[in-house]
Structure 1
Amino acid sequence: MKKEKIIDFGILVLRWYLIFYMIKYGWSKVTLSQFGVYDASILDQPIKDIGSFYVTWHLFGRSTFFNISTGVLEIIGGILLIFNRTVLIGTLLVLSILAQILIIDIAFTTGVHGFALPIRIGGMILADLLILFYYKDKVIIALQSLTNEVSTKFKYKWWVFLILPVIGFLMDFVFGILTYPIKTFLNWIVN
């Protein structure tokens, strides 16, 4: 076998490594089986006495929306890695998901599980980065395409850019007023 074919096969193996874990973890979230704490001896303690891992996993388990939305994103990332046409989109999506998981694992799981989970996720991030490096020529073209000649349609005076932060801040109030009927309706449905 030629060196290039071995490297190409290695990248294919890394893709399927990520596909397996992204779909596996995504499915466990969609089926609401990954998070949650069910040990009464932990749940009956005052919250200040419970470790960060158990508080975090309990809170993640309490939100069906969090579980399903993050699970669906992980499954989509895994599926995008399957196809050659979408591998770069999948790799970028999976990288962002794994980066967030790594932060959560470092912040909340090391007290109970040590560094096992952060090391596994770090390995998955490394696999993802190796895939991106393998396709670096296409990644560079994509980044150049996304960033070249991006500007506003019209030219503005310099002072407009001074007031834009204030306008941006005030937009929060505008969107708050515009979305008030939606919030009221959703609260009515929930309650």
Structure 2
Amino acid sequence: MEQAAERLREQITDGTWDIGTKLPGETTLAKTLGVGRSTVREAIRALAGAGLVQARQGAGVFVVATRSEQDWSIRLRQAAITDVYEVRVLVEVAAAELAARRRTDDDLAAIDAALAGRRAAAGGTTAEFVEADTALHAAVVAAAHNPVLTGLFTEFLPVLQRGLVDLVDLLDLRADDPNHGDAGHAELVAAIARGDAEAAGRALRDELEQTLAQLHAR
């Protein structure tokens, strides 16, 4: 399927089929590509997912673009850590405020355990500490009980973790304090536990914006 999709992609991007052109039928494409019709269908689905073609009910499949839309995960991987952090502030501050209003006893237990895990990881490597740190933030986001926020955070978590490892070393954040940011995280957890949305959002915003300011100053 991948080879068939790539051959069709090349024909679209090299101008063989212009925008607005209707692709040949499955049978014709199957013969041209030397594959089965099911493989052609899968290839067309892949091209549709890339934003190159669009199926129109009763009319066929048409070329709608000659360049692929860049995959969101790829854009995230290429994004500067400062850009990711700016989005992180927007997503996580809102999540912290919602978590303070919606958290359950199970959520609080998970958040407390994550805070303890972060403290335990202070004696480990930077990668271990970052993993424990983001696990705490993930527990807070989960306590917001908003699947869209959770989805957004989950989507950029891998690139965030990779960037944070570099960031911690770049800014030498743990040189004097291996458990960097513990007080702010404890304040965040306490605010969520007592249901103080304003304080929870403020605690997280202060922490994230302080790091963001350090990044911009580099």
TM-score bin (small chain):
under 0.3
TM-score normalised by structure 2 residue count: 0.24
TM-score by length of 1: 0.26
Q: Which has the higher helix share?
A: 1
Structure label with greater radius of gyration:
2
